[in-house]
Chains A and B, each alone.
Chain A
Amino acid sequence: MTTDQTALLQYALGEADDALILGQRLCEWCYHAPYLEEDLALANVSLDFLGRAQNFYQYAAQLDPQQRTADQLAMLRDSREFRNLLIVELPIGDFAFTMARQFLLDCFYVEFMTALQGSADPNMAGIAAKAIKESQYHLRRSHEWLLRLGDGTEESHRRMQIALDQIWGYTMEMFENSPAENELLAEGIAVDRSALKPAWDTRVNTALVEATLSRPEDGWSVRGGRDGIHTEHHGHLLSELQFLQRAYPGLEW
């Protein structure tokens, strides 16, 4: 196997893990959202991410020298083998926290998937072409929630600001290229994450002003997800996500 193929596998796995973990977090709102319409809407977004994860895992499975299937990659790896960014694994918190995270991620994904559509790797470009349409809709929703809560009541504003302050230090990791990404950059396969920062900043800053929220200071930042170093929440998430396959190996329905 060439070095390129190893890097590509890491790249696809990273994207797959991000989508799976975020999708799993979002579906925790199922039956718990503020009201029925929002419950369904959030579940739809969650399913979009699970579908995206499936696409990336299926591609990763094709590249895997151990010949694991997409299901095995998702359900039978341990926490240290997951390569997702820390921001997606944080607990859902309150509704403001979920929406603040979603908005910051949606702003990123709209830029990232647009760029990935131009990837020299046709599989990655194909998945991105599908994902960009979903992300544009996700952003429309999360942007409106940011405005509604930020420029809403005193309580909703307070909660939204707290959420932003708590998440802010986890956003930096989105703009750092992993070694695999750096390797694939030269061939035009990977997206240069650091180059997406200015466009992301513009989107976020404009929306925050509109929502009467303040942009948190760039003080602290946390990273490690791409190296498999996760928060204490990750193992608990996996224990729920992977329970069936761990307890009943090979179970299908």
Chain B
Amino acid sequence: MNEQQQLLPLFEVFVRSKRGLDHKHVGSLHAENPEQALEYARDCYTRRSEGVSIWVVKSSDITASQEEDARSFYDPMDDKPYRHAMHYQLPEPVNNM
């Protein structure tokens, strides 16, 4: 990685593949500002008609959960099966839920 790239901020790219679907995270890239990030996202992630809409977000603006929080964040949910719909009897016409 050259010096220039270290100076450019990192952006996360989200692409919506079709109208009606959600934006999905597809990767990240370096750019000088959000406008340039949007163009690079267009050039790097939609060259094969992958999208109809793009979001770019500065990576530093994302607040993410941390590995060390896992014990208190996620473990407590492991023994609460009553929160899942698995114990309900589904009516015949409903195949999947």
Contact = CB atoms under 8 A, between A and B. Distances in A.
A215 interface: no
Nearest to A43: B43
Interface residues of B, number: 15
A37 B35 contact: no
Interface stretch (B25-33, B72-80, B85-93): B25-33
A140 interface: yes
A44 B47 CA distance: 8
Contact of B29 (A34, A37, A44): A37
Interface string B1-45: 010110010000000000000000000011110011001100110
A41 interface: yes
Contact of A40 (B32, B35, B43): B43
For chain A, the bracket of interface size reads 10 to 19
B5 A35 contact: yes
B36 A144 contact: yes
B71 to A, nearest CB: 38
Contacts of B2: 34-35
Contact of B43 (A35, A44, A144): A44
A71 B16 CA distance: 37
A148 interface: yes
Contact of B30 (A35, A41, A44): A35
A203 interface: no
A41 B40 contact: yes
Interface in A210-230: none
A41 B39 contact: yes
27 contacts: A34-B2, A34-B4, A35-B2, A35-B4, A35-B5, A35-B8, A35-B30, A36-B30, A37-B30, A37-B31, A37-B40, A37-B43, A37-B44, A40-B40, A40-B43, A40-B44, A40-B47, A41-B39, A41-B40, A41-B43, A44-B47, A140-B39, A141-B39, A144-B35, A144-B36, A144-B39, A148-B32
Interface of B: 2, 4-5, 8, 29-32, 35-36, 39-40, 43-44, 47
